[in-house]
Amino acid sequence: MRRNILIFGPPGSGKGTQAARIAERRDIAHISTGDMLREAVAAETDLGLQVRAIIERGDLVTDELMLGLVKERLGQADAKEGFLLDGFPRTVAQAESLLELAAKENRPIELVVLLDVPDEELLERALARGRADDTKETIHHRLSVYREQTEPVLEALAGKVTIETIDGVGDLDSITERIERVLDAANSPQG
Ligand code: AMP
């Protein structure tokens, strides 16, 4: 079974919503680093206090902090059955560390699902979502951070992990079905 999956996409692409649906259907751990960080901010933990201003600006939290967080989460029992990483890796350094960890622990990343959504639609959706860190300026900033720091991750992964691009425009159910079809195809025939 191919069960260690990454979901990729620009801010506002709907990756969080789709990741939650897919993880639930496949009974694998949905690991959203954005959710984890927002929970830490809300709970005012040490981590939360460290990252709050960074998230509000739409900048990236340091690779070191993120790696620590993700390593710990991947070590938990539910993640051993399979995981869907949502929002990580976001830099080439994070991607390289993840591949190294995956190889060392013999838990290969089997597939990257890339949600493709045009920029105009991304801006519209992000504004409609109305999250506290979603002002027009931070949305633009997060999009440029994505282009500059996160898109190169795809080049770093190309040739090492299969990347499937999915049309991320349409109703939620159709997009979930598109992703499911790709995951099913990736499951066969070797299992
Ligand atoms: P998200 O919900 O995935 O859009 O994440 C919300 C915010 O959390 C981002 O804008 C970043 O500030 C931070 N964040 C989440 N994941 C990462 C990551 N892998 N590396 C650095 N910062 C992250």
The pLDDT tens digits for 161-171 are 999 999 999 99
Condensed to tens digits (0 to 9), the pLDDT of residues 96-152 reads 999 999 999 999 999 999 999 998 898 888 778 776 667 788 888 999 999 999 999
Q: Which residues are CB-neighbours of 50 under 8 A, at least 6 positions away?
A: 65
Both structure tokens of 130? 């109305």
113 — phi, psi (to 5°)?
-105, 120
pLDDT tens string 24-75:
999 999 999 999 999 999 999 999 999 999 999 999 999 999 999 999 999 9
CA of 189 to the centre of ligand 1 (A): 35
Q: Are 15 and 5 in contact (CB under 8 A)?
A: no
Q: Read off the tokens for 166.
A: 């999915």
Task: Indicate the pTM of the whole model.
Answer: 0.93
Residue 105 one-letter amino acid: E
- Length, in residues, of the chain: 191
Q: Whole-angstrom Cα distance, residue 11 to residue 122?
A: 7
Cα 68 to middle of ligand 1, angstroms: 14
Any ligand 1 atom below 6 A from CB of 90: yes
- CB-count burial class (<10 Å; 0-12, 13-18, 19+) for 48: middle
Q: Which helix (H) or strand (E) holds 43?
A: none
| C-alpha span between 17 and 44 (Å, rounded) | 25
Distance 55 CA to ligand 1 centre (A): 7
